Amino acid sequence: MKKTTVSLAYHNLPAPMVVPFIGTIIAGMKGNADLPYPPVPLEPAVPADPDAPVDMTTRKTRLEAAIEAAAVGGPADTAARDDALEFALDGLDLEAFYVQSVYRYNTTGVLATGFMPASTNRAQVILDIPGISGIDTYVSAQLTLHVTPMDNAYGYQVQTRTGTGDRTTVLYSSAARSIVLPGLTSGTAVNVRVRALGGLTGYSAWSMDVTRYVS
């Protein structure tokens, strides 16, 4: 029987994508009768247990706050973000090895937790360029992208710009078929591009730009 190894490729994700990935793992492991004693608690203990490891929910919250602070702060905030990322990844590694020990011969069980089985192919290919197959403008102040899914991609980075302004990364998404960009300004023309994350080089080339007016 073939053994299943849990992929640690989430170490290649940018910090903003690690946050929702942690949420996926918490949801996937919570209440799973096969995983009653995760090495890192999924949520804070009630009552608090000072001897328990810091739980994954708290690690996720700290990383999210550190990312926001680093976006507007200085070098100290960037260093704090990197520390929070490393702390979150340490927790994920412990959970990954626990899941692997329980589901060593059960790939379906691994997938149900949100982790991915390791694939030699996933780390060896250069990703194709994703295409924006459509953009919905039905909802006010919002665009919804439809991107062609790329094999071996772990997620997608979306950038926008208005006019000749600088491009801004507005979203990291683990999904491709429907990526919602909220909080846009109605009546403006927004230029959008996307690239896939993962593979041999860490990311694909950028897609062609597509422009849509925000309703």
Helix (H, G, I), strand (E, B) or coil at 194: strand
Q: Give the global pTM.
A: 0.65
Q: How many CA atoms lie within 13 A of 182 on its CB side?
A: 0
60-114 per-position pLDDT tens digit = 999 999 999 999 999 999 999 999 999 999 999 999 999 999 999 888 898 889 8
127-137 per-position pLDDT tens digit = 889 999 999 99
Q: Which of 11, 10, 6, 14 is nearest to 24 (CA)?
A: 10
Q: Where are the alpha helices (DSSP H) in the chain?
A: 15-29, 56-72, 75-102, 107-113
Cβ contact 57:142 at 8 Å = no
Q: Other CB atoms closer than 10 Å to residue 117's CB: what's the count?
A: 16
